[in-house]
Structure 1
Amino acid sequence: MKDKVRIVKTTSENRDFVNLIKALDKSLWERYPELKADYWGNNILELNPNVIILYLEDKAVGCGCFKKYDQNSIEIKRMFISAEVRGMGLAKSVLQELENWAQDLGYSSSVLETLYKQKEAIALYQKAGYLIIDNYEPYIGLENSICMRKQI
């Protein structure tokens, strides 16, 4: 399978990324319809030069990106793997690639936020060395959010 996987560094303007994010948003709002009002403002697709797209047999099936959080840290955003290819270890590849890219740019830690029903994502992040931390802005007071941090 690994010979059929290709990871591409791109920007948030990439059409495949935009389409994957539409699928991510759809899945989140289906799973958490009650939270849309609380989280919609945190869910805006900004211009981002640090985007990864994962292709399997030339089909875009996964993505992730990061943005600067503070002087030494990045924040992982928009991690998504299409439902039909989950469980194949592809999310781990996307996360690793994002962390490596951030390291190459001089960052030493990573933070992220996910929602409490994302059990598979939480397990992935913990297996990758992320620890649950107190919620950071803009997630302070949002009890459905799980915030995590890792030294990279």
Structure 2
Amino acid sequence: MTIEHTFQVRPVAVGDPEVQPLLDGLAFEYETRYGANNELTRFPDSDFAPPDGAFLILVENGETIAGGAFRRYDEVTAELKRIWTHPGHRRRGLGELVVRELENEAVRRGYRRVYLTTGPRQPEAVALYIRAGYRPLFDVTAYPGAMGPHPFEKELSVPE
């Protein structure tokens, strides 16, 4: 898929006003799919700040259209969180771009592996991570509603 590069990739702090559309969009998605939940408050904002974490957004014409973050999972592993694309901008390959940019930043921070989970009611996220080369750590043939979070992992290509 070809992506038009009419946007900017920006590193931001969680408290940056440009992040709010992403967090509001995620809150709506999670509540619509799972009901009341604490997914966006499970980790302190400091987890997504340098040196161990990062938060990136894609901005087009002054609008936050996609983004995501990572935090330290262990000494060599970054955990991807908060991956989101505005509903009006989906099917443009932006999710894959966000994941790739986060992976590149994780490598720059010294991580060699990525771990993530997505929920059983997010089949488009499962498809995204499989397309991006992530290995499912769950039975992909099982009925999604019969299990909890869907974990994935990927080894990162670290330059020599």
Interval containing the TM-score (normalised by the shorter chain) = 0.7 to 0.9
With normalisation by structure 1, the TM-score equals 0.85
Secondary structure of 1:94's counterpart equals helix
Secondary structure of 1:16's counterpart equals helix
**Structure 2 residues not aligned, in runs of 5+:** 139-145
Alignment of 1:121-132 (within 5 A): 121-132=125-136
Aligned to 2:104: 100
RMSD: 1.7
Pair 1:52 & 2:56 matched: yes
Shift of 1:22: 1.5
Residue by residue, what CA displacement relative to the aligned partner does 1:5-50 show, whole Å, maximum 9, x if unpaired? Answer: 21001111111213311221111101222xx3xx41x431523221
Please, which of 22, 39, 43 is the counterpart of residue 40 of structure 2? 43
With normalisation by structure 2, the TM-score equals 0.81
Residue by residue, what CA displacement relative to the aligned partner does 1:30-78 show, whole Å, maximum 9, x if unpaired? Answer: 1222xx3xx41x4315232210001122211111000000000000000
Alignment of 1:1-150 (within 5 A): 2-33=4-35, 36=36, 39-40=37-38, 42-44=39-41, 46-47=45-46, 48-49=48-49, 50-133=54-137, 143-150=147-154
Distance 1:133 1:96 in 2: 20
- The percentage of counterpart residues that share the same residue type is 26
Secondary structure of 1:3's counterpart equals coil
**Structure 1 residues not aligned, in runs of 5+:** 135-141
Distance 1:120 1:20 in 2: 17
Residue by residue, what CA displacement relative to the aligned partner does 1:74-99 show, whole Å, maximum 9, x if unpaired? Answer: 00000000101000001111110000
Distance 1:73 1:22 in 2: 27
Distance 1:122 1:6 in 2: 26
Aligned to 1:139: none
Greater per-residue strand proportion: 1
Secondary structure of 2:19's counterpart equals helix
Shift of 1:126: 0.6
